[in-house]
């Protein structure tokens, strides 16, 4: 494994959430895109956490005309010309990578990290890397340097902006939207970040300073680990014995031996890999494996568990790279409370800054009615809600049912309150059998998606929970209502319970809007530090993979 040098290994790393050469130009941003601060209220606090100040070195300067000369010789970096000019103008054209004693240590560290972009899940190459390395090597051999090399200086700065763009920003917004990602994209001034980096590197040796969502760095560690063992022999042809539906504790089989070796390879099992018996320690290892893959953690090895065990490491590595790209698009973190839904995980997570307060199961949209990846601000809690049936459901489900059964509307506690676009306007009355349950949580958006209760509680116990028409059903609606209303003391637990069980709709406007992030991660690291994988329920990984991997 190639190691990062100390400085750049720790500079920056912080929620929580695609290309071949033909797409490389789409990765490159204009100066305005690079330097715009985050525009939404939710991101302002995060933007303020990235400090900026000028380097103390002012003795060594160069003429501004040198920049134009440089780009004539290095045209592939010209896309960053505005960023570089702005950076040096703010520094009064003082050298950033040199002191009177020569190159600073960070120059070699940056060069090393750029050389190892593969560790970041990036297949693109930074232009002129070999030239930079050669010049740095020659510079370090030279004694009594009288004048810094403007060529090395501008190469390093240009390559820093390439690195920041590739590793911390990712593909452009147009491309991420093409894979149905409508969360606001992170924007940050990397020129300010570079200047702060150079002035006082020791103050930034904190992993929470990297301008990426914290999952990025966690996934990067597992990418490094998996690549180290990728070429080792794998057992990926595990099967059940003939006539056997599953393996359970106490069973014996050659395939159980293979399972032990496979789980040992994946670090789930640390016991005896020579015995054919399904032992207690294997049971715990299997449960751990099942939990990491979103399966029912019962210790029973059936076809579903075996299917996940047989996925080769090469496939897992590609999944890691895809999800690292998604992590680049998110803000590094929010200094406030917020909600996050990870669609493939079927989970709602409640956060206070980077602290996970609690989580619960959710049901998301089935493949025909995919839940959209986007961000909104929750504003209302609605107790004992009406369900205003969407036109698509009226057309495709309600009308055919009414044609077959004239009493369908009354039997389902519904009413027709008008007509629109040639269709009846149908709503379901409040009550325990209402499709939205006893409470819904609204964050106005163009996708007509919201969180709500449901009378169908049994669905939360299923492994695969993609059953809805796009909205998100929450398994703990009472707890969520209490959380959202905790700064409104008049809404006691008793009052909330009463409001949920009356026959009239009650709207409550939140004192402060609550950010809600609906994301799509098929690989993530949990709070126990374990790598998790989930099924790509909307088949989005492959499209992204084709864009960023060769």
Contact criterion met (CB below 8 Å) for 517 and 375: yes
Burial class (CB in 10 A: 0-12, 13-18, 19+), 306: middle
CA distance 200 to 197: 6
Is position 501 annotated as part of the catalytic site?
A: no
- H-helix segments, 51-189: 65-73, 81-90, 105-115, 129-141, 150-163, 173-178
Tokens of 388: 């205003």
Length of the chain: 550
Bridge-partner residues for 387, per DSSP?
428
* Residue 206 CB coordination number (10 Å): 13
Is position 471 annotated as part of the catalytic site?
A: yes
Tokens of 64: 């501004």
> Active-site residue among 293, 349, 412, 452?
452
Rounded to an integer, what is the distance from CA 281 to the centroid of its chain? Answer: 33
CA distance 250 to 385: 51
DSSP state, 398?
A: I
In sequence order, what are the residues at sequence separation of 6 or more whose Cβ sits closer than 8 angstroms to the Cβ of residue 542?
Answer: 536
Bridge-partner residues for 452, per DSSP?
440, 473
Contact criterion met (CB below 8 Å) for 182 and 373: yes
- H-helix segments, 457-525: 477-484, 493-500
Per-residue CA distances from 190 to 24, 86, 126, 526 (Å): 19, 11, 17, 29
Q: Active-site residue numbers?
A: 452, 471
């Amino acid at each position: 494994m190639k190691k990062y040098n100390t400085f750049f290994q720790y500079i920056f790393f912080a929620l929580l959430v695609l290309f071949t050469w033909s797409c490389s130009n789409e990765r490159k941003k204009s100066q305005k895109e690079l330097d715009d601060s985050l525009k939404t209220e939710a991101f302002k606090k995060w933007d303020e956490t990235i400090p900026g100040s000028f380097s103390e070195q002012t003795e060594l300067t160069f003429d501004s005309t040198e920049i134009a000369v440089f780009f004539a010789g290095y045209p592939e970096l010209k896309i960053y010309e505005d960023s570089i000019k702005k950076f040096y103008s703010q520094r009064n054209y003082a050298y950033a990578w040199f002191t009177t004693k020569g190159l600073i240590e960070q120059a070699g560290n940056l060069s090393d990290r750029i050389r190892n972009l593969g560790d970041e899940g990036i297949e693109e190459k930074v232009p002129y890397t070999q030239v930079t390395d050669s010049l740095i090597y020659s510079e370090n051999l030279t004694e009594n340097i009288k004048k810094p090399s403007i060529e090395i200086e501008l190469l390093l700065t240009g390559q820093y902006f390439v690195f920041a763009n590739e590793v911390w920003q990712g593909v452009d917004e147009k491309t991420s939207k093409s894979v149905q990602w409508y969360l606001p994209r992170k924007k940050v001034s990397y020129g300010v970040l570079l200047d702060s980096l150079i002035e006082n590197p020791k103050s930034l040796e904190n992993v929470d300073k990297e301008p990426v969502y914290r999952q990025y760095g966690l996934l990067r560690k597992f990418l490094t680990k998996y690549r180290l063992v990728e070429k080792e022999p794998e057992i990926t042809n595990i099967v059940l014995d003939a006539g056997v539906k599953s393996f359970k504790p106490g069973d014996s089989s050659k395939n159980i031996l293979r399972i032990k070796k496979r789980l040992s390879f994946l670090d789930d099992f640390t016991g005896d890999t020579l015995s054919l018996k399904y032992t207690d320690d294997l049971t715990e290892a299997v449960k751990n494996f099942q939990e990491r893959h979103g399966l029912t953690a019962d210790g029973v090895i059936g076809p579903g568990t075996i299917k996940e065990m047989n996925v080769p490491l090469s496939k897992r590595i590609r999944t890691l790279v895809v999800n690292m790209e998604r992590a680049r698009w998110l803000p590094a973190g929010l200094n406030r409370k917020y909600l996050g839904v990870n669609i493939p995980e079927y989970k709602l997570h409640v956060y206070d800054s980077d602290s996970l307060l609690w989580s619960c199961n959710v049901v998301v949209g089935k493949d025909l009615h995919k839940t959209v990846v986007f961000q909104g601000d929750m504003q209302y809690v609605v107790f004992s809600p009406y369900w205003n049936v969407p036109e698509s459901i009226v057309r495709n489900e309600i009308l055919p049912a009414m044609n077959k059964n004239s009493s369908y509307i009354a039997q389902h506690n519904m009413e027709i309150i008008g007509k629109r676009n040639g269709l009846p306007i149908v709503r379901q009355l409040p009550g325990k059998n209402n499709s939205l349950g006893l409470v819904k949580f609204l964050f106005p958006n163009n996708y007509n998606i919201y969180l709500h209760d449901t009378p169908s509680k049994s669905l939360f116990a299923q492994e695969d929970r993609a059953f809805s028409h796009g909205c998100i059903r929450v398994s703990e609606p009472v707890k969520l209502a209490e959380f959202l209303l905790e700064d409104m003391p008049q809404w006691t637990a008793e009052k909330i319970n009463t409001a949920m069980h009356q026959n009239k709709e009650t709207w409550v406007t939140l004192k402060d809007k609550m950010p809600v992030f609906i994301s799509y991660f098929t690989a993530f690291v949990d709070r126990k530090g374990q790598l998790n994988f989930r099924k790509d329920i909307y088949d989005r990984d492959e499209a992204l993979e084709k864009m960023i991997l060769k």
